[in-house]
Copies of this chain bind each other. A is one copy, B any other.
């Protein structure tokens, strides 16, 4: 496989996908067109507008972008595509739409055959076993929480360390993930912004500027430096 599952599309103060540009040139090397999956609709943005945002960035890499919503037969479009990018937004909306259209498995199969895939945030969540470690609000009810399982673990994008100065009693991200582990025996990769999971052939590594925090049932959470093998 040839996959990037990134914590975020945009670093604080940066432009869309800018920090990943060199990695994306390698990921999509030799491709002149990819399909963008806009279903997560951040802030309720339309499929057209969201696809335009991806199109603007990839035009700098001389890669054309088509939105998956533009096709009458999205299953055939996925089979015919050369590569994929799923943008961030609301994971519940993304997963609900993919299951409704029967696309989750189709996309997974195409990626497992070697077609390059970029996911950001919600688009990374769907690379995991299931979406049970998303941070998003459950604004719609998906028919299932199951995802593509490109990796044998779950991701928590935008992983955020507890802020000791916050006078607020909502759960920290770590508490939430520890609650997940009381109900599920699946490893969780806490991806800080600036980090991504890289799948290249059979190797899965954590990459980027930050350490990655890893959660497993029955263990204390631990930290891995960039370049660490995840499986």
**Chain A residues within 8 Å of B, Cβ to Cβ:** 8-13, 41-44, 89-90, 92-93, 131-141, 144-145, 158, 160, 167-171, 175-184, 193
B136–A132 touching, CB < 8 Å: no
B144–A141 touching, CB < 8 Å: yes
Smallest CB gap from A133: residue in B: B137
Least CB distance from A203 to B in Å reads 28
Contacts of A42 in B (CB 8 A): 171, 175, 179
B179–A139 touching, CB < 8 Å: yes
B169–A160 touching, CB < 8 Å: no
Q: Which 8 residue pairs spanning A and B have beta carbons closest together? A: A44-B182, A158-B170, A12-B167, A137-B176, A139-B180, A139-B183, A141-B145, A8-B169
Q: With A158-B168, A158-B169 in contact, do A137 and B137 touch (Cβ < 8 Å)?
A: no
Contacts of A132 in B (CB 8 A): 137-141
Least CB distance from A226 to B in Å reads 19
Contacts of A141 in B (CB 8 A): 132, 144-145
- B13, B90, B179, B193: which contacts A179 (Cβ < 8 A)? B90
B12–A177 touching, CB < 8 Å: no
Contacts of A184 in B (CB 8 A): 139
In the complex, 7 of the A-B residue pairs with CB atoms within 8 angstroms, ordered by the A residue number, are A8-B169, A10-B169, A90-B176, A90-B179, A137-B179, A139-B183, A158-B169
B136–A145 touching, CB < 8 Å: no
